[in-house]
Structure 1
Amino acid sequence: MPSSPSSSAQAARDALAVRLTHLRKDAGLTGKELSARCGWHPAKTTRVQKGEAAPTDADIRAWCVACDAADQTEDLIATARAVDSMYMEWRRLHRNGMRKVQEDFYTLHENARICRVYASNGVPGFFQAPGYATALMRSITNFQGTPDDVTDAVAARLARSRFLYQGGHRFVVLVEEWVLRARIGDVRVMSDQLSHLLSVIPLASVSLGVIPFTAQRAIWPLEGFYLFDDRHVVVETLTAEINVRQPREIADYMKAFRGLGAMAVYGAKARQLIESAIDAL
């Protein structure tokens, strides 16, 4: 598994390594003895126990058999897979196209009562107009060199907007002013997108704040993130989706969101910034 910038992923990997190490010690085996039983070099055992290498399903099965603990195999495999899901490279997620990921996000929104979003690099998916979503997802597909299913992926992304109008969901969104000015697509696409933002501001389910260029920064610009209730954060980097579920880290994201929200403007002032961006086109 690639090294993750999220400490929760490393913490979970370390916890798995500790469990495997205890399993070996409980069996009364040295690292060399376990390696011999598993048929691999002792250096591999060392890397696994230090959390430097992620064991495969086959590695875990062999480890458990060597320790006469086959009854723990499935639980350890499930734990390892959960660690792996914390850091998911976009090229891996998009290896068959983007539609599946959009459907997974649909489920996350469906199950969340409150979705808090900090958008520093683009309009959130559930606020996107068709032209904007198409232009953005086309550029992502071209950059990653993954299969082109943009038409289906856009349809799946736009389906999320239904939660703005039904189901009792709440969307608390903070957008950097830069997002309003960055031209994704041509002038017509951006004009339609910004006009669409104006149309969602009055919705009872929506709180939209814009952080002006001129804001005195108490919190520096961050990578965009989605906070689903108080249980799950999805952070989007250039290369990967990071899933954070560790309570301490979630609390940090909540704290950052409050700090960012304090710098934002809302209501008429937010509308003015959006209208100004339209005029600039």
Structure 2
Amino acid sequence: MSPSPSSSVRAAREALAARLREIRLDAGITGRELAARAGWSESKSSRIENSRTPPSDADIRAWCRVCDAENQSADLIAANRTADSMYVQWRRVQRTGLSRAHAASIPLYEETQNFRVYCSNVVPGLFQTPEYATALLSSIVAFRKTPNDVADAVAARMARSHVIREGDHRFAVLVEESVLRYRVGDPEVMAGQLGHLIAVMALPAVSLGVIPFTAQRDIWPLETFSVFDDRRVHIELLSAAVTVTEPGEVSQYVDGFSELTGIAVHGAAARSLITAAIDALK
């Protein structure tokens, strides 16, 4: 598993490793004895206990068996899987295509009331047109060499977008002005997408802000992220998806969103920037 940039992942791994060490100490055996009884090298036990190597489910079962703590293995395995899900490589999520992951996220979107979304590279998924989504997801499939199920993935993305018009949801969305200028698809696709943004702005549940190129920045452009009800944050990296749930770290993203909101323009000023981007396509 690749190292994660998220302190939440490290904290979860370290907490699991600490629990395994406590179990060993409670059993009154040394790391060398544990390794011998489990059939491992001593270095493997040390790497697991010092959070340098994530344990497998089988490793946890063996550890608990050797320490006569098999009644704790189920909880530890669950904690291990939670930590594992905080940092997931795209190649693992998308190994069978893109549509399954899109469909799996629909319940989270339906149950979330307050969305905060910041995008520095592409139009937010909830506000994408089918044509824009097709162009974007096609490029992802080509780059990551995943099975091509773009049509199904686009359909799932559009199905997920129903929350912007149905239910009790609120959307505070910020995009960098560069998002309006990046060419995803041909000029016709981009013109349709930008026109759709103007239409979405009129929805009562939506607040759309644009951070101008010329804004005096008190905070630098960040990675794309989404905050769900101030409870969890999804961060999109080139190689992986990161999920943050530790309250202190979630709070940092909420604070970052607030800072970015302070340099964004809304309403007529935002529409003017979108219109200028449309005009630039001609």
TM-score > 0.5, shorter chain as reference? yes
CA–CA separation in structure 1 for the residues paired with 2:104 and 2:248: 25
Q: Cα offset for 1:100?
A: 1.2
Q: Cα offset for 1:104?
A: 2.4
2:194 maps to a residue whose letter is L
> Hey, what does 1:83 align to over in structure 2?
83
Q: Cα offset for 1:195?
A: 0.4
Structure 1 segments of 4 or more deviating over 4 A?
none
> Hey, what does 1:141 align to over in structure 2?
141
**In structure 1, the residue corresponding to 2:105 is in which secondary structure?**
helix
The TM-score with structure 1 as length reference comes to: 0.99
Q: Cα offset for 1:98?
A: 0.4
RMSD of the alignment, in Å? Answer: 0.6
1:22 maps to a residue whose letter is E
2:89 maps to a residue whose letter is E
Name stretches of at least 5 consecutive residues in structure 2 with no aligned partner: none
> Hey, what does 2:40 align to over in structure 1?
40
Q: Cα offset for 1:274?
A: 0.3
> Hey, what does 2:12 align to over in structure 1?
12
CA–CA separation in structure 2 for the residues paired with 1:170 and 1:125: 15
1:39 maps to a residue whose letter is G
Q: Cα offset for 1:183?
A: 0.3
> Hey, what does 2:256 align to over in structure 1?
256
For 1:179-209, what per-residue CA distance to the aligned partner results, in whole angstroms no more than 9, with x for missing partners? 0000000000000000000111010110000
For 1:20-75, what per-residue CA distance to the aligned partner results, in whole angstroms no more than 9, with x for missing partners? 00000000010000001110000001100110100000000000000000100100
For 1:103-124, what per-residue CA distance to the aligned partner results, in whole angstroms no more than 9, with x for missing partners? 1222221110011000101011
For 1:204-253, what per-residue CA distance to the aligned partner results, in whole angstroms no more than 9, with x for missing partners? 11000000000011110000000001100000000000000000100100
CA–CA separation in structure 2 for the residues paired with 1:90 and 1:77: 22
- How many residues were matched structurally? 281
> Hey, what does 1:111 align to over in structure 2?
111
| 8 Å contact from structure 1 (residues 198, 271) kept in 2 | yes
| 8 Å contact from structure 1 (residues 125, 160) kept in 2 | no
The TM-score with structure 2 as length reference comes to: 0.99
Q: Cα offset for 1:163?
A: 0.7
> Hey, what does 2:29 align to over in structure 1?
29
Within a 5 Å distance, the mapping from 1:205-220 to structure 2 comes to 205-220=205-220
2:98 maps to a residue whose letter is M
> Hey, what does 1:101 align to over in structure 2?
101
| 8 Å contact from structure 1 (residues 174, 261) kept in 2 | yes
CA–CA separation in structure 2 for the residues paired with 1:155 and 1:59: 40
> Hey, what does 1:165 align to over in structure 2?
165
> Hey, what does 1:126 align to over in structure 2?
126
CA–CA separation in structure 2 for the residues paired with 1:17 and 1:121: 37
CA–CA separation in structure 2 for the residues paired with 1:111 and 1:42: 46
2:278 maps to a residue whose letter is I
